[in-house]
Structure 1
Amino acid sequence: MDTKMVSKSDFKRGYREDSIELKFEEKSCSPTVWRYAVVIVICVAAGVGIGYYVARALQTDRTEHSPYKHPQVLHGNLSQPSLFSPLSEDEINSVVDYCRRTNITSSDRSVPLFNRNKIVSLSLLLPSKDAALSYLDSGGPFPARFARVYVDRAQENSPYFAEYQIGPLRKTRMTHKVLRVIADYDRRPRTSSEAFQIEALAEKELEKLNDLLQECFGGIVGKGRRGITRFRISVSALSSEHGRLSSLFLLIPGKLSSSDILPVFATISHGGLDKSKWKVFDIYFFRQGPFANAEKLIAAYKSGTLELFKFPKGYVDQIRPSRNYERHTNQPLRKHASKRPPKTVEPEGPRYTLTGNLVDWMGWSLELSVNNYHGPAIFNIRYKGERIIYENSLSDLTLLYSSLNTGAGMPLTILSDEIFRMAAFANVIQGLDCPEYATILNIATFSERQQAAFSRQGVCIFEADVQRPLWRHSGKVRSGMNNNYLNIRFPFSLGNYDYVFDFQFYLDGKIGTYATASGCLYTAFWFNDDETVGPEKSRTQFGFRVAEHSVGSIHDHLFAFKVDVDVVSRNNTFEKIHWRGGEVSEAIKSQTNRTLNISGIQFKNIRYLGYEKLKKENGIKIDSKPILWTVINEKLRNKWGNFRGIKIEHTQEYQEVLPNDHPALSAVPQMKYNIAVTKHRDNEEFVDSFQYDDRRLHDPIHNLDHFLNDEGIENEDIVTWMSVHFLHLPSNEDFPMTTGAPKGFLIKPLNFFDETPTFDMPQFDVYSNGTILNNPYSVNLNPYSSAEEIDRPDYV
C-alpha cells in the first residue's frame, strides 16, 4: 500500500460529513426560520453561480482553442523491423559503433571533424527485389537488413570517399564490404563540416572589403561593433572538370535572407584537405571584374576606378519589417479572420491501423520508408490483397535558375536538394503540416556533427475528406458516396524552400503522388539601369521585380520519382493509347487492317483509339495530342476479357525547352522526359547520383540515360521514372512567401476490376420524398427535402 502525506486541508476535503452525528438543539422558532432563510439564499446564490459558470464555459468553448481529444490509432507490434522500415536509432548507433571498432571511422576528437574519417550519411540498403518478393509472396526467408553507409575517408594517405554495406543489423556479428569508391576526392558529397570551413575562409577574405561594403551597403562581413549589419555568406557548388569550386554570395541578414542578395560574387577553390591551398578569387562587384582577390578589388575602390552602387542610407533597417513571417500590421485584418475555420474530425477515431511502418486502410496495405539522401518512399502497395506498385519513391529534386545578375542563375545555378540529404527532417508542425488529429511518426536520422542518431517527428498519417462526392446520381432515389482518402505526408525544410510530399490512397483504387513547394524566394539582384533589360524595367527577361533590389528569377522544381509498377505480377507491358481523329474507314483499318464501308454513319470523321506497345526502354515526352500512358498485364484479364492494368495521369502539360546538349540535361536527363520506362535492375536504384555529380556535370557516375539502353520491356518487370516539373515564374504574390500548388501524377485502375470497386462501402440513398433509405454515417439530413422538379426530357 502506498503511504502519502496528507495536509490538514486535504484531510478537510476528504472528511465525510455523514461520519458523525450532528445534533441541533432547537431553542425557538425564530432561529430555525433564520437558518432556513440562510440555506435558501446560499442555494440560490450557488445556482446562479453554477448557471453563470456553465454559460461561461459554453461561451469559452465556442471562442477559445481547446484541443479535441481524438481516439488513438490502432497499433500493432512487430517483433522485428519490417522489410522496408527505415533504420532505427538503435540500428544507426550500432553501425556507428561498428565503424569505430573496425577503424572505418575515427573517434579521435583531437582531429577536427573535417579532417577525420567519418560517416556522412546512412540509410537502409534495400534487399534485392527477388529476395523481397520471395519473402512477401512465397513465404521465403526474411531478407537480412543492411545499412548503406557513406563514409568520408579523410585521414587516408590518399583521401577518398566510399559507400559500405554493413550488417546484418540487429545481429551480434556484423561484417562490411565496399560498394563504391570515389577516388576523385574532390567530387565527394557536400558535408556540413566542409561548409563550415568554407564560410570561415570566405569571411576572412571578404572582410577585407568591409570599407567598400560599409560605404555602399551599410554593413560588413565578419565581426564588428554591436548594432552594425553583418552580411551572410551563401555557398553554392560549381561544376568544374578540375578541382572543387563553389560560388560565394553576400546576403542581407534576416528571416528571408535569400531574397536580398548584394551585387557581390566570388569563386572559392577548396579542393583537398589542405586549407592553406584554398583561395577566394574572381571577385565581381556590380558586374565589374573579375578581380583576382580582395586586395585587387579594394585597390580599385580606393583609386576611384571602381563604379559604385549604393543603397540609400538606412536601407537595411527600412526593409527589415517586410522581411518576416508575421502578419503585416499595416494591413487591416479581414473580417471574421480571428474565428476558427472549419476542421475535419474523426468522430469515431482513425479507420486505419499501424503496425510498425505498415499501414492498412479500407482495403489498402503499404509500407512507408525513407532514404536519407533521396527522401520518402512507399513500398509494397496492395489494394484488396493484390499488388499494384512495388515502389513509389522520390529519387531527386533538382532546380535550375536563370539570370545574368548576381544571385539565382549567375553563373549556371543548378541545384539538387539531394546534396542536403532530403530526409534531414524538421519536426512536423501539427495543425499546420498535418491536421490536429493526424498520427505523427518518428523517423530516425543522422547527425554528421555528432556522429550519432536522433529522431524527428517526420511523417504524419491521416484520413481526409475531399468535401465532394466520389460519385453521385439523382433520380427516383438520390444516391452517392463520400470521397475520402488516406494521406501519408512528408514535410521537408531544405534551405530557402519547404516541400510537402503527399501519397494519397482513394476508396476507388486511385493513388495520388503530389509535391508542393513553398518558402522564400532565391532571387537575383535588380537595379534600374541594367543595360541588358529593355525599357520596361519592372520585368526582365528572367522574371519580375519582386522587391526593392530583387528579381524573382525563373526556375523549375523537378521532382523525379521512381515508380516500380507491378500489376499483380512482375510481367507487365507499357502501352500508349492514342486519342486520334480521322475518317471512319481509318478507325476501322487501325484495328482490322481492312477497308470496310459502314452505312448509316452521319459524319465522315470520328474519334478513335490507337494502341501502341512500347517494345524497348524509352524516354517519353508529353505529346501535343492526347495520349494515355498505361501499364497492363497481358497474362491477366478481367471478367470482360480486358487486360488488367493501370493508367498514369500527369499534372504536367509541357516539355523542357532547353536543347539536349545543355550541361544540365546531360547531368540530369530526367529533365528531358516526362516519363521514362526501363527494365527493372536492382542496381538502378536512383534516377541519378547527383550527390557526386553536382561538381562534375560533364561526367556523371550514373543517371537515367545510362538506364535507357534499348532492353526489351514487353512482358517484363518494368520501372517508370516520373518527372514532375513545377515551372516557377515568381510574381509579387510570391513575396515575401511563396504559396505552393501541388504537382504530381495520379495512378488509376484500368480494367483492373470487373466493376467499380467501391460498392463494398456504405452509401447514401435518399428517396425523392425525403425519406432516408440509407444514412451510413448518421449525417444530419433535412427530412423535408425533396428532389427539385425540373421540366426536362427523361433520358432514361
Structure 2
Amino acid sequence: MDNESKSSHSTAGEPGTYRRTIGVLRIAVVVLAAVIVILVIAFAVVVTQLKEELSSQPGDCPSTDNIKLDPPDILPPFHDLTRVEIASIREFMYSEKDLSLVRATDIQTNNSYIYLIELKVPKKDQVLQYLDNGQAQPVREALVLLFRGDKPEPYIQEYTVGPLPNPYYKKDQRDFPFRYRPPTIPELIGVYEKLNRELHESIGNILKESYGGSLVDCEDQCLKFQQLSVMPTTASNQPRTRKVWFSLAPYIEFYSLHPLDFAVLVDMTSTQPKDYHIDALYYAGDRFKSIEELQRAYEFGSVTKTKIPFPTNNKDLYSTLNRRGSLFPSDSKLPPREYEPDGQRYSINGRHIEYMGWQFDLRMSTSFGPQLFDIKYNGKRIVYELSLQEIAVFYSANNPSMRFADYTDSSILIGGGSRGLVAGADCPHHSTFLSADHSFEFSDDAVRNDRAFCIFEHNTGQPIRRHLTSNGENKFYEGMMDIVLTVRTIPTILNYDYIFDFIFHQNGAIEVKSVSTGYILASFRNSAEDDYGFRLKNNIIGNIHHHMFNFKVDMDINGRPNRFETIEIVPKSVDNTLWSSKLDAKYEQTMMVREQQKTEKAAVVDFDFTRPQYYTFYNNQVKSPNGVPKAYRLLIHGMSKQ
C-alpha cells in the first residue's frame, strides 16, 4: 500500500510541477522583453542626444541652400565684373588697332597697355528707375584705364567700354598727364635693376662697410630698395617732373622695422628706364648731389660713417612673427569659439545679402576697396551707397624719404590687396568667405583673390536693450543681446593691414569700423628725428603719422529728398522764480538748438571738439505718428584734431 501510495502520489504531481515551470518561464520572458524594450528606448534616447550634440558642434556643415556664391544668371547693376566679362573686354580692346595695345606679357613703360579694368557703376538715376519703377536695367559697362607710353607725349587714357558681356564700343575718352600714373611694374623693375647695378659698382664698398650687406651677389645678406616716396612737385618746386625717393633696408622679415640711413632720389620723368638717373642721395643724415660727391666725402672722412651690422636672421629676431618670450596661457586651453547651431541666418545670392530685415549689395572695387549699395532695412532704403573712397597716410620726419611719405593708397589698388582671410585669425571659424576677381596690368587673365571678404553673424556680448524691475508686485526682466551681421575685408597695403567692418545691428543701426594693424613704417634714428617720434630700438624711431579714411555715404532716408539738420546742446539759464523763494531765481540746464543746413557750404562740417553737434538726416515728408521726422544720426568717432 505504501509503495502504491507513493507511486500514485508521484505520478499525480508531475502536471502541476510542469505548469509552475511554464509560469516561471513566462514571467522571465516578459521581464526579459521589458528589459530589452527599455534598453532599446534608452539607446534611442542616447543616439538622439548624441545627434543633437554633434549637430550643434562648431565646424558642423549645416545646409547651405541659402548661400549661393556663383554669379546669378542676370547680373544686378552693382555686381562686379565676372571673369567672362573681363576676358571679353580685353579681347575687344586688343582688337581696336588704333590703341596699339600689347599683351600683358610684353608691357613696358614706353608702350601702350591695359593697366586696369573694373566695373563702371551706373548712374544713380538710372539704377533707381530700374529698382523702384521697373524700367529697363542700365547697360553694364566697364571702366578701362590705358597707359599710352607709345606716344611722343605719353598720357593716361580712360574709356567706358560696353555693353557687357559682349562689348562693341569704347566711348567717353578722357586723357590725363602721364606723370600722374601710379607706380607700375615695368618702371619699378627698370629702376631697381639700374640702382642695384649702378650703386653696387660705384659705392658697393660703402654699403658693405656701413650695413654689412650687398645689393647683388649677396646670398643671405642682401640689401633691397623697399619703401618708395614720391617727391611732391610743390615741395621740390620742379613742376612736370616725376621723382621718387627709394629707401634701403636689409632683405629680412620685416623690412620696415630695419630702416637704414640711406636713400636715393631718382628722376623717373622719362618713359625710358635707361634714362632714369639719380638726382640726389641721403646718407648718415647728409644730402649729396651725386654718387661721386658721396664717394669723396666718405673717402676723406667729411661725413659721419654709419656702422650697422647686418641683422642675424633667426627665430629670435624681433621683427619676425616667431613666438618669443613667455607664452600665455601657461596651460594650452583653447579660446572661446562661436558657432551657428541651426546654420546661417543670413542668405547670399551672388553678392546680394539679406539678414534680419537688412538687404544690400556688395562689391570690391579694384581701386578703392569695399563698396555697399542699396542698403535697406525692413524694405526701406536707408543708404544708396556706402563705400570706401580712399586711404591716406601722412608722415613727418627729418629724413627726406619719410618726410615726403604722403600716400594715397588707391594708387596701388586697395581692393587688389584684399585676399587670403584666415578662419580663426582674421574672421570667426563659422564665416562665409567671398572671392573677388580683378584685372591687373601683369595678367591677361582675370586674377581671383580668394577670401577677399568674410561674412559672419556675431554676438557682441553687449545687450542691445534690457530692463529689470524688482520693486513692488510687478517684477519682471526683459533683454536682448546685440547680435549683428558683419561684412569684413582686410586689404594689405605694403606694411599696413586695414580691417574694415560693416556692421548691421538689429535696431536698424549701421556701424563702420576701421582698424589699422600690420607693421609700422619706421625711420633710422638720429637726434634730428627725435622731434618726430619715439625710439623703439637702438637705431629705430617710430615716426608720427596720420591715417585718414574717406568714405562716401549717400543717404536716402525714406526717399531721396533728404534734409541735413544739426542739433547743438547749449547751456540755458531759465527763470526759476515759480519754484524758488528767491525773487530773481535762475536755474541752469541745457536745451536743443536745431538748425537746418540749406547750402553745400553751410553743410561742410568744421568739427568743433568743444561744441559737439548731432548730425541728422531725414525726409521732412515722412514723420512718426507724433509728427517727428524719422531721422538717422551720423555719429563720427574717428575725428582727429589738427
Q: State the TM-score, normalized to the length of structure 1.
A: 0.68
Structure 2: distance between partners of 1:318 and 1:454:
34
CA displacement at 1:109 relative to structure 2: 7.6
Asked if 1:158 is matched to 2:153, the reply is yes
Partner in structure 1 of residue 443 of structure 2: 450
CA displacement at 1:558 relative to structure 2: 0.1
Structure 1: distance between partners of 2:298 and 2:198:
16
Asked if the contact 2:142–2:161 (Cα under 8 Å) also holds between the matched residues in 1, the reply is: yes
Partner in structure 2 of residue 295 of structure 1: 292
Partner in structure 2 of residue 569 of structure 1: 559
- Correspondent of 1:467 among 452, 461, 470: 461
Q: 1:4-403 maps to which residues of 2 (within 5 A)?
A: 67-72=59-64, 74-75=66-67, 78-103=72-97, 104=99, 106-107=101-102, 112-171=107-166, 173-182=167-176, 184-207=177-200, 208-221=202-215, 223-240=216-233, 241-289=239-287, 291-311=288-308, 313=309, 315-316=311-312, 321-328=317-324, 331-336=325-330, 338-403=332-397
Structure 1: distance between partners of 2:623 and 2:590:
26
CA displacement at 1:555 relative to structure 2: 0.6
CA displacement at 1:299 relative to structure 2: 2.6
Q: RMSD of aligned C-alpha atoms?
A: 2.4
Q: 1:673-752 maps to which residues of 2 (within 5 A)?
A: none
> Structure 1 residues 625 and 303, CA, compared in 2 at 3 Å: closer, same or farther?
same
CA displacement at 1:237 relative to structure 2: 1.5
> Structure 1 residues 272 and 432, CA, compared in 2 at 3 Å: closer, same or farther?
same
CA displacement at 1:314 relative to structure 2: 5.5
Instruction: Give CA-to-partner distance per residue, 1:293-321, whole Å, 9 cap, x none.
Output: 2232123222333321212x555558972
Structure 2: distance between partners of 1:469 and 1:304:
69
Instruction: Give CA-to-partner distance per residue, 1:327-379, whole Å, 9 cap, x none.
Output: 11xx1212346221001111100001111111110000100112111111110
> Structure 1 residues 632 and 254, CA, compared in 2 at 3 Å: closer, same or farther?
same
SS, match of residue 297 in structure 2:
helix
Kindly name which structure, 1 or 2, has the bigger radius of gyration based on alpha carbons: 2
- Structure with the higher helix share, 1 or 2: 2
Structure 1: distance between partners of 2:106 and 2:364:
32
CA displacement at 1:252 relative to structure 2: 1.9
> Structure 1 residues 420 and 513, CA, compared in 2 at 3 Å: closer, same or farther?
same
Structure 1: distance between partners of 2:483 and 2:625:
28
Asked if the contact 1:219–1:229 (Cα under 8 Å) also holds between the matched residues in 2, the reply is: yes
* Partner amino acid, structure 1, of 2:619: N
Asked if the contact 1:162–1:178 (Cα under 8 Å) also holds between the matched residues in 2, the reply is: no
Partner in structure 2 of residue 719 of structure 1: none
SS, match of residue 321 in structure 1:
coil
Structure 1: distance between partners of 2:105 and 2:490:
37
Number of residue-to-residue matches in the alignment:
567
Structure 2: distance between partners of 1:314 and 1:181:
47
Asked if the contact 2:360–2:372 (Cα under 8 Å) also holds between the matched residues in 1, the reply is: yes
Instruction: Give CA-to-partner distance per residue, 1:605-634, whole Å, 9 cap, x none.
Output: 210000011111132122212310111211
Asked if 1:616 is matched to 2:599, the reply is yes
Asked if the contact 1:263–1:285 (Cα under 8 Å) also holds between the matched residues in 2, the reply is: yes
* Partner amino acid, structure 1, of 2:300: S
- Unpaired segments ≥5 residues, structure 2: 1-49, 234-238, 470-474
* Partner amino acid, structure 1, of 2:524: F
Structure 1: distance between partners of 2:638 and 2:105:
53
Q: State the TM-score, normalized to the length of structure 2.
A: 0.84
Partner in structure 2 of residue 558 of structure 1: 548
Asked if the contact 1:73–1:349 (Cα under 8 Å) also holds between the matched residues in 2, the reply is: no
Structure 1: distance between partners of 2:405 and 2:579:
62
| Structure 1: 4+ residue segments shifted above 4 A | 108-112, 313-320
* Partner amino acid, structure 2, of 1:479: E
Structure 2: distance between partners of 1:217 and 1:431:
39
* Partner amino acid, structure 2, of 1:583: S
CA displacement at 1:73 relative to structure 2: 5.8
Asked if the contact 1:252–1:316 (Cα under 8 Å) also holds between the matched residues in 2, the reply is: no
Partner in structure 2 of residue 607 of structure 1: 590
Partner in structure 1 of residue 24 of structure 2: none
Structure 1: distance between partners of 2:280 and 2:525:
21
> Structure 1 residues 598 and 445, CA, compared in 2 at 3 Å: closer, same or farther?
farther
Q: Percent identity?
A: 26
Asked if the contact 2:105–2:443 (Cα under 8 Å) also holds between the matched residues in 1, the reply is: no
Asked if the contact 1:113–1:449 (Cα under 8 Å) also holds between the matched residues in 2, the reply is: no
CA displacement at 1:572 relative to structure 2: 0.7
Structure 1: distance between partners of 2:396 and 2:145:
32
Asked if the contact 1:377–1:391 (Cα under 8 Å) also holds between the matched residues in 2, the reply is: yes
Q: 1:466-545 maps to which residues of 2 (within 5 A)?
A: 466-475=460-469, 476-527=475-526, 530=527, 532=528, 540-545=530-535
Structure 2: distance between partners of 1:617 and 1:185:
33
Structure 1: distance between partners of 2:447 and 2:107:
22
CA displacement at 1:213 relative to structure 2: 1.1
Structure 2: distance between partners of 1:109 and 1:648:
45
Instruction: Give CA-to-partner distance per residue, 1:365-394, whole Å, 9 cap, x none.
Output: 100112111111110000001011000000
- Unpaired segments ≥5 residues, structure 1: 1-57, 534-539, 586-596, 658-796
Structure 1: distance between partners of 2:330 and 2:438:
42
SS, match of residue 261 in structure 1:
coil
Structure 1: distance between partners of 2:291 and 2:226:
15
Asked if 1:631 is matched to 2:617, the reply is yes
Structure 1: distance between partners of 2:104 and 2:467:
71
